[in-house]
Amino acid sequence: MPSFRAFSRNVPYLRQQFQALLGNTSTSVKFICIVVLVSYCLSYSTAAVDVLSVTPGFLMPPAFWIWTAFTFCFLELHFWEVLVDIITVGLCGKLIEPLWGQMEMLMFFAIVNFGVAVLSTTFYFLLYMCTFNTDLLFSVHIHGLAGYIAGVAVAVKQIMPDLILIKTPLGKITNRNIPLMVFFASVLFWLVGLLDGTYPTMFLNGILVSWTYLRFYQYHSNGTRGDMADNFTFAR
């Protein structure tokens, strides 16, 4: 009860911060945030989680629940993940959308999340082929925007690769370091039980899909595709 009262006192402040974050963003950014919030309410229903999230054994034939490859990204089971998603999408609307345009940002959102669904499902199928553990096919639920968060980190790396975030005695941490640093941190949190195994899986696949798209396929207004700059190689 004391924690609830403390949260209630901070509601006006939180509302003000979210209004500042989402103010002047496009309708698509606001729509994504609203759908994530509504989907969180549905997460309390086991049936809704089954129907909206990607279950590897059901995404492929004969079940072929293909719609889950488009709905899974909006479903989060923990409120802190909802907050991270909204902040990430809001920052994307502030930083990336003005450079790319609304349609390109939506295309990036769709490509990254669909690619994460397919690659993550493939990963669990490969694990099943090695272990013959059917839980990997039917008990694993892939959901959330972890892959898209990775994609945004890669996009920021592309746009501002050398921006120094932190200076440490061991060296400088720039935007180019963030995607892999967050991935290894998510693996560590999974090992100690703070994250589900699907999170680092989705995050790594998000890095792979977003970098491949931005490196080779993204169309630019000058008629070129991709970004072959030396500072945007995968190893850097």
Beta strand residue intervals within the chain, DSSP E: 164-168, 171-174
The verdict on pTM exceeding 0.85 is: yes
Alpha carbon distance 114, 31 (integer Å) = 18
Length of the chain in residues, anyone?
A: 236
Alpha carbon distance 210, 147 (integer Å) = 9
Alpha carbon distance 207, 174 (integer Å) = 17
pLDDT grade, residue 172 (50/70/90)?
A: confident
Least confident of 21-25, 101-105, 202-206, 231-235: 21-25
Alpha carbon distance 25, 217 (integer Å) = 26
Query: Does 3 score more than 60 pLDDT?
Result: no
- Are 85 and 36 a contacting pair, CB within 8 Å? yes
Q: Looking at residue 80, what is its pLDDT?
A: 93
Alpha carbon distance 194, 54 (integer Å) = 21
Structure confidence by residue, pLDDT tens digits, 213-236? 999 999 988 889 999 888 788 766
pLDDT grade, residue 35 (50/70/90)?
A: very high
Angle at 116 between CA 110 and CA 117, to 5 degrees: 90
Query: Does 168 score more than 60 pLDDT?
Result: yes
Alpha carbon distance 124, 100 (integer Å) = 33
**Average pLDDT in the 126-138 region?**
96
Structure confidence by residue, pLDDT tens digits, 56-95? 999 988 899 999 999 999 999 999 999 999 999 998 888 8
Measured over the CA atoms of residue 165, residue 168, residue 172 and residue 173, the dihedral's sign is: negative
Other beta carbons less than 10 A from residue 108's beta carbon: 23
- Chain Cα centroid distance, residue 166: 23
